[in-house]
Structure 1
Amino acid sequence: MSDKNSNNKPNAPKFKFNMYWVYGAIFIAFIAISFLNDSALTTKKISTNKFYKILESNDVERIMIINKNIAEVYIKREALTKEEYKQQTKSPFFRKGSPMFEYNFGDLQNFENKLNAYKAKDSLDFDTDSDTRGSLLDSVISFLPFILLIAIWIFFMRRMSGASGGGGAGGQIFNIGKSKAKLFDNDTKVKTSFVDVAGLEGAKEEVQEIVDFLKSPEKYTSLGGKIPKGALLVGPPGTGKTLLAKAVAGEAGVPFFSLSGSDFVEMFVGVGASRVRDLFKQAQQKSPSIIFIDEIDAIGRARGKNSMTGGNDERENTLNQLLTEMDGFGTDTNVIVLAATNRADVLDKALMRAGRFDRQIYVDLPDLNERKAIFEVHIKPLKLAKDVNLEFLAQQTPGFSGADIANMCNEAALIAARNNKKSIHHQDFLDAVDRIVGGLEKKNKVITPKEKETIAFHEAGHATVSWMLEHAAPLVKVTIVPRGQSLGAAWYLPAERMIVQTEQMLDEMCATLGGRAAEKIIFNKISTGALSDLEKVTKQARAMVTVYGLNEKVGNITYYDSSGQDAFVKPYSEETAKTIDKEISSMIEEQYQRAISILEENREKLTTLANLLLEKEVIFKDDLVKIFGERPFDKKEEEKAGQEETTEENNS
């Protein structure tokens, strides 16, 4: 039924015109004319005796000498009725006035002498003439280089302009300035909605208002409000900026133009600006609509920021055109521009001002509750066992983005399949965390017993010090199985704090130095295995002194410049630099001695923990509880939480 209706549409074209059809028709006509005019179709090659016999019969009207070695013989009209010529005159290719015979005579001078002798002897009345000709194949070969150059030029122009665009094959050269935006409308709807976006509650509220603007603009314009022109999604990679834009497209139900910032960039001058104009023209024609530019920093970088190397004029022209188009909108066009970037610091200030991108929506890394919601989205297609604990997995993945969690769920499924399991267990998720954070397990790495013992005491030192400090993150797992570039690792469960106090940072530094302190106590030697620990504590100490103002000697001063303008200027004197270096070194050394004293007090427990680690290679929090007992700080927190609950009940 649908086929019949589609065939009866009055405006449906029966075929699409293609310019190559014209080229093909001209080429075929050229070949046909050359083929039909070729004398080889009508002439018959003859021997010397036959030629001179015809010549003596005085039937020859004219002899055409071609290329000085071939004679074409033309027969008189009245002689064509003779029996010896009838067979050739009946051929469908024969035409009157064309040569009938062809004779290869060899030497031209001898041939001309013989013709003159026969002409004088028998009083013959034929004429002679000469001509130079080339074959069709020779003509094609002579033009072949030009044909190849034209074909290669057309091929590259089609590749640069995008052969999939409209306008037919012949029009691709002129479509290079057209927008490359992918359009999603009624025919190609986006199926993503806000239900598919877990977490990001604040960002969803902001973009939900944009959807409302497009669905019912009169609700806002009736009060005198103006529809916003743009919203900029800013945040670290993998946090869901592009996913959020897709959800806006799915919720709004309006035409949605999606493209990347690099789609404006081309090798030809002026193409980027032309594509911007074409994009906004299409969006206005389909108003109300949304334009989404992903990775806008490709064209939106600050103009003339790096004066030493000069500016990219073509990129700046594209940015200027984008600024002009966003300013040129009327308040009733109902076209909203969404953009996403993780490099908001490099964007041009003119792009960020109100009236262009009115809203800047920060899409941050998910917190604990948001990570749990993201897990619930990504486990839907997975076949899970009953022992999977999403609450624990959300706690175990601090700093993970939505993309990291999606990768972790997929990695857990692959690990379970590799082990021939029927469902994905909790341990598979933990192994996936180890794989993503620590790297691939190196089972064939050769480690000597002495190195293994050193690694065990190093990791046991970390675990012991962190267990004994109030503000250090509680341990979850310790392993001496080599992964990636590390020979051992300890996993902690850090508290998600909004602000960090001095004591908390010092405890973390002390726990980080616990590995080297354990080596010093047990072996009275230190190794290169603490490189990453030293790098971490040095960065922390430098940040405390120069960034956060947490050092009493330096004072409440920060040398951090968020604008990045003074990257090549040292904002303090040489005297202050000496003080900073001294305070950093003193702070690290103080925490190192603190870690040594903690381990000296718990030397037996440290040795027990290290031996258990050598035996099992992987130990968990429960093993530490058996050796050290419960952390007193955890009991305090539980008692405090219980008191708060009791107070709330009494108040109610």
Structure 2
Amino acid sequence: MAENNKHDNFDFPPVGRKNNRNQRFGGYWTYIIIAAILIGYQFFSMPTNPERISWQEFKTNILAKDEVKEILIVRNGGKANIFLKPEKIETHDKLVSKGFNQKSTGPQYYVPFGTLEQFEKNLEEAQKEYPETADIHVDYGDEYNWWADIISIILPLALFVGIWVFFMRRMSKNAGGGGGGGIFNVGKSNAKLFDKESNIKITFKDVAGLAEAKQEVEEIVSFLKSPDKYTKLGGKIPKGALLVGPPGTGKTLMAKAMAGEANVPFFSMSGSDFVEMFVGVGASRVRDLFKQAKSKAPCIIFIDEIDAIGRARGKNPNMGSNDERENTLNQLLTEMDGFETNSGVIILAATNRADILDSALLRAGRFDRQIYVDLPELKDREDIFKVHLKPLKLAEDIDYSFLAKQTPGFSGADIANVANEAALIAARKNKSAVEKQDFLDAIDRIVGGLENRSKVIKPGERKTIAYHEAGHATVSWLLRHAHPLLKVTIVPRGKALGAAWYLPQERQITTKDQLLDQMVSVLGGRAAEEIVFGEISTGAQNDLERATKQAYAMVSIYGMSDKVGMLSYYDSTGQSDFNFTKPYSEKTAEIIDEEVKAMVSAAYERAKQLLSEHKDQHRQVAELLIEREVIFSDDLERILGKRPWTEDGETIQPEEL
């Protein structure tokens, strides 16, 4: 038994790992060694360079002494190579210093000439002058630099091949390097694999709010951890789940938490990673992804932004050409629910454009569950603030519920940005802790943009802006269903010259009266300009745009027009994105335009009436705004009186006032 274990102490290289020692001498080292040998051969095989001399030197110092053995006239080089007699070489110090000796084959000197005829004439006259040189052998020839010719052919070819290899490697790394980074692996999936050995620190504790969606995602992990609990009654584990919701609500964060919580392999890939310039690459990557997943089942595949490949087929304006996205989608549909079973592989995908996805992708059997991840409510925002404010040094006056009330409509990503901006603002002011005012400044910075106090505004324009913003504040204060006002400012922020800040009410449904009151509040600025100055300006452009869009939505989507009737021309499925015709006739379009114009005009007249009835209070608000630049709801309450309605628009009883 002892002999059978004698190999246990030997160190064998791990399976699948290349020997680095052998790898050093492969690849490019072979080409480098060959190039060095060729260059060395050329260098050592070349004869010693001959010495250049003039004709007069040659005639006087060499030819006259009868030291010449042979002359080779190079016709294509414009020179004459001089070969000395062997016994005469060592008498020339220059030649000896350059390494010439009696065994050197030569030439030892060369004489350049202008024209061949002139050189022949000079040589003939010199031989007549020195008769003993008449027997010198004179020959003619041409010289060829074979290495220069070879390099001139090989160098451009090598340069072309090098550029081609460079671009192919770059494309393979960017496109399909998951299978090894080579050009032949471009069809391999480059999904990132996370398993229990990966150091993923995000867990479900880091996902705050949205308890229902979080519970659905946690259940998927539970399916894989203990499948018997769900299958013992005959049920089947869901094949896929689709996370749907606005941007920044935490869909990808939930997927990261799944990767951190699950004790099974987790493949993460973006939808755009499947689409490539090469035809068929997307489908090949889908096949390779599912092949890897099946080999590691049970596991989870997460495809982020699946709308990149899941768009409804036949809706792409590609003029009938081959669509790589559709080929990729077809392969994905086949892999998710085809003849082959994917037992133990759960598909998780995320998108914020579920309306454009193909119906075959959304059916049961592929994505059995659609988990809607909506914008967080008040309690959810409070929990999200607790998560993102945990690493910050906070002052004692921080109230999470107050911050949650100040951020209606904010997503989880927006709240994370608020926390970071508040910390930066506090650091900019050299504070030791992040205070309440820093968070308010951060919210203003994100919603309205950066303050621009250096912008030069003329006094007349400043007065117009102040009365415009005071018009918004006064009208909204006097309307029952308008959003509660927080503050009004004439300090420029971003592109806006002034702004009125409201705290939107979190409603699940909105009535017609509420929409009309909001429209009147939006048009209060334009109405104030006309009443006070008797003219209008371009400052109300954004107000008019908002009012017009809201009126069109009321008439053509919500069915709030008597003339148009209870009809909605909105297509929530997204199937009419590429239709060039309207879903209604020209006559109906004219009625819609008339109704929108009448609705906006009525709201504008109502705003003018309110400002005319409270002209003095409007003027006081505007003058106070010019003086302070920023006023708050307390100042409006002091000038206009307390509102007789609650934040929800309910009438306050007299004893409550």
Q: Is the pair's TM-score, using the shorter chain for normalization, greater than 0.5? A: yes
Query: What residue in structure 1 maps to residue 616 of structure 2?
Result: 604
Query: What residue in structure 1 maps to residue 471 of structure 2?
Result: 461
Q: Does structure 1 residue 152 correspond to structure 2 residue 144?
A: no
2:304 to 294, 302, 306: 294
The aligned amino acid for 1:30 is L
**Distance in 1 between residues matched to 2:339 and 2:312, nearest whole Å:** 23
TM-superposed deviation, 1:188:
3.0
Bigger shift: 490-499 or 623-632?
A: 623-632
Three-state SS of the structure 1 residue aligned to 2:513 is helix
TM-superposed deviation, 1:161:
0.9
Quote the RMSD (CA, aligned, Å): 4.2
**Distance in 1 between residues matched to 2:415 and 2:647, nearest whole Å:** 31
TM-superposed deviation, 1:252:
0.8
**Distance in 2 between residues matched to 1:465 and 1:290, nearest whole Å:** 55
1:321 to 318, 327, 331: 331
- Report the CA distance shift for 1:93/1:137 in structure 2 as closer, same or farther (over 3 A): farther
Query: What residue in structure 1 maps to residue 289 of structure 2?
Result: 279
Q: Does structure 1 residue 550 correspond to structure 2 residue 560?
A: yes
- Report the CA distance shift for 1:129/1:574 in structure 2 as closer, same or farther (over 3 A): closer
Query: What residue in structure 1 maps to residue 518 of structure 2?
Result: 508
**Distance in 1 between residues matched to 2:226 and 2:652, nearest whole Å:** 50
**Distance in 2 between residues matched to 1:101 and 1:512, nearest whole Å:** 99
Q: Deviations over 1:108-129 (max 9, x none)?
A: 989999xxxxxxx99x9x9x99
- Report the CA distance shift for 1:255/1:111 in structure 2 as closer, same or farther (over 3 A): farther
- Correspondence 1:133-532 to 2 at 5 A: 133-134=144-145, 136-137=147-148, 139-162=150-173, 165=177, 172-306=182-316, 309-328=319-338, 330-331=340-341, 333-532=343-542
Calculate percent identity across the aligned residue pairs: 59
**Distance in 1 between residues matched to 2:120 and 2:467, nearest whole Å:** 109
- Report the CA distance shift for 1:50/1:409 in structure 2 as closer, same or farther (over 3 A): same
**Distance in 1 between residues matched to 2:591 and 2:434, nearest whole Å:** 55
Query: What residue in structure 1 maps to residue 583 of structure 2?
Result: 571
Bigger shift: 328-337 or 139-148?
A: 328-337
Q: Does structure 1 residue 585 correspond to structure 2 residue 597?
A: yes
Contact 2:206–2:387 (Cα < 8 Å) also in 1: yes
Q: Deviations over 1:175-223 (max 9, x none)?
A: 2222222222344332211111121222212211221122223333333
- Report the CA distance shift for 1:498/1:363 in structure 2 as closer, same or farther (over 3 A): same
TM-score by length of 2: 0.81
TM-superposed deviation, 1:74:
13
**Distance in 2 between residues matched to 1:54 and 1:289, nearest whole Å:** 95
The aligned amino acid for 1:510 is V
Three-state SS of the structure 1 residue aligned to 2:348 is strand
The aligned amino acid for 1:603 is K
Contact 2:294–2:342 (Cα < 8 Å) also in 1: no
Q: Deviations over 1:371-397 (max 9, x none)?
A: 222211211222222233322221222
**Distance in 1 between residues matched to 2:74 and 2:226, nearest whole Å:** 85
Three-state SS of the structure 2 residue aligned to 1:162 is helix
**Distance in 1 between residues matched to 2:48 and 2:440, nearest whole Å:** 84
The aligned amino acid for 1:334 is G
Q: Deviations over 1:154-193 (max 9, x none)?
A: 111111111894888xx72322222222222344332211
Equivalent pairs, count: 619
Q: Deviations over 1:495-524 (max 9, x none)?
A: 111111122212222222222333344344
Contact 1:74–1:99 (Cα < 8 Å) also in 2: no
**Distance in 1 between residues matched to 2:334 and 2:100, nearest whole Å:** 69
TM-score by length of 1: 0.82
Q: Deviations over 1:444-503 (max 9, x none)?
A: 223333332332222222222222222211111111112222222111112111111122
Query: What residue in structure 1 maps to residue 30 of structure 2?
Result: 22
Query: What residue in structure 2 maps to residue 625 of structure 1?
Result: 637
**Distance in 1 between residues matched to 2:438 and 2:122, nearest whole Å:** 98
The aligned amino acid for 1:23 is Y
The aligned amino acid for 1:436 is I
**Distance in 2 between residues matched to 1:7 and 1:610, nearest whole Å:** 89
Three-state SS of the structure 1 residue aligned to 2:493 is coil
Contact 1:365–1:401 (Cα < 8 Å) also in 2: yes
Gaps of 5+ in 2: 1-8, 125-131
- Report the CA distance shift for 1:229/1:102 in structure 2 as closer, same or farther (over 3 A): farther
